Every structure is written in C-alpha cells, then in structure tokens.
C-alpha cells in the first residue's frame, strides 16, 4: 500500500467522523430547541365595541350647551346606532405575554389633550395600575367624552407598561363632535 492511499483512507475516516459529529450536534440542537422554545415577549392591547366585536365604536357625539347627550356607534358603513348617553363606550383589553409579571396604566387623549375615563361608575384621570401575570387578561368596558365641538378628533388610547409608553403609535379612533 502506498503512502497516498493511506493518506486518502485517513482523510476519508476523518471526514466521516467530522460528518457524524456534525449530524449529532444538529440533532441535539433540534431537540434542545423543541424542548426550550424561544417565546416572543409582547403585550396584546385592543379596543372592541360594547358587544365584544371589532365594530360598534363611538364615531359621533352630539353636545348641547357643553354637555354630551347623544352618541352614535358605527357598526358598518350602512349601520349606525344611537344612544342617549353622556359618554362613548367601548371595551379595552390587555393580555400579558411578557413571560413575567407586568404593570400597566392607560390614559386617553383627545386631540392631544388628556381626557377623563369612565370606569366602574366614576371619572378617572387614568386607568391603573393594572398588574398582570404572564398570560393573564384584563378586559373592561370604559367610557370617554370629548370636551369641545369639532370634526376629526383623534382619540388615543395610550398604554404604559412599567411606566413607559408601550406603543410609538397607540391605538386610536377618529370621532366627530357636533353641536345641537
């Protein structure tokens, strides 16, 4: 046997061993990933109409002598329902997927001005603190009322997580406020 033949056999054995080790490492990495998945950390924050669907949001308010007396809720382009009330209502929801406990607070602004929030029978400056464990959900009906007449008023629902704004562009609605 020549020296070249022996060298080729050694190289082939070495390559076979390296290939076997690489396959075993890939299989081990696969099993590790299956057993220890990397879970994304995020918070779910949503707005629903009072019937618990993504429709029926307050879209138009009617004021008389500076007081709210009628709210129109838009269900589709063809369906609008009216309610004689002093605030628009909707459901806010938070679900914690942060892999740890988190504390939240919610503020509402209308055209950049802080608005009061109706919750559990009283007007508040904000909602919270709301402390949720991982996968815990909070959902409540709230109310809000604009303070002046004008069309295309932007209503921002600002979520804070551990004292910091969570979204760069928070969820929002556009409303019109008419005088009677």
pLDDT digits (tens, 9 = 90+) for 121-144: 999 999 999 999 999 999 999 999
What was the pLDDT predicted at 21? 78
Q: How far is it, in rounded angstroms, from Cα 130 to Cα 152?
A: 30
Q: How far is it, in rounded angstroms, from Cα 171 to Cα 173?
A: 7
Contact 94, 137 (CB under 8 A): yes
**Three-state SS at 120:** coil
Mean pLDDT of the chain, nearest integer:
90
Q: Cα dist. 152→54, 114, 169 in Å?
A: 20, 17, 17
What was the pLDDT predicted at 1? 57
- Closest by alpha carbon to 144, among 157, 133, 134, 135? 157
42-179 maps to CATH 2.60.40.10: yes
Please give the share of the chain, as a percent, with pLDDT higher than 90. 69
- Chain centroid to Cα 36, Å, comes to 26
What was the pLDDT predicted at 157? 98
Q: pLDDT of 23-67, one tens digit each?
A: 887 777 777 777 766 678 999 999 999 999 999 999 999 998 888
Average pLDDT over residues 160-178: 95
E strands, the chain, in order: 42-48, 57-64, 67-74, 80-83, 88-97, 102-110, 113-115, 117-119, 122-124, 127-132, 137-144, 150-161, 164-165, 172-179
pLDDT band, very low/low/confident/very high, at 18 (cuts 50, 70, 90):
confident
Residue-range domain boundaries for the chain:
1-38, 42-179
Tokens read off for 91: 């459901």
């Amino acid at each position: 046997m020549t020296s070249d033949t022996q060298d080729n056999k050694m190289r082939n054995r070495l390559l076979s061993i390296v290939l076997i080790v690489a396959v075993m490492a890939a299989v081990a990495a696969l099993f590790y990933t299956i057993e220890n998945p990397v879970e994304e950390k995020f918070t779910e924050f949503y707005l629903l109409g009072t019937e618990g669907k993504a429709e029926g949001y307050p879209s138009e308010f009617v004021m008389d002598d500076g007081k709210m007396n009628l709210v129109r809720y838009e269900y589709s382009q063809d369906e609008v329902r009216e309610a004689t009330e002093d605030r628009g209502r909707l459901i806010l929801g938070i679900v914690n997927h942060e892999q740890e406990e988190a504390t939240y607070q919610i503020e509402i602004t209308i055209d950049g001005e802080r608005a009061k929030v109706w919750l559990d029978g009283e007007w508040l400056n904000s909602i919270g603190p709301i402390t949720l464990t991982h996968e815990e959900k909070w959902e409540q009906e709230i109310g809000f009322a604009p303070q002046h007449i004008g069309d295309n008023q932007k209503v921002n629902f600002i979520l804070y997580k551990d004292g910091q704004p969570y979204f760069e562009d928070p969820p929002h609605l556009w409303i019109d406020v008419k005088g009677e």
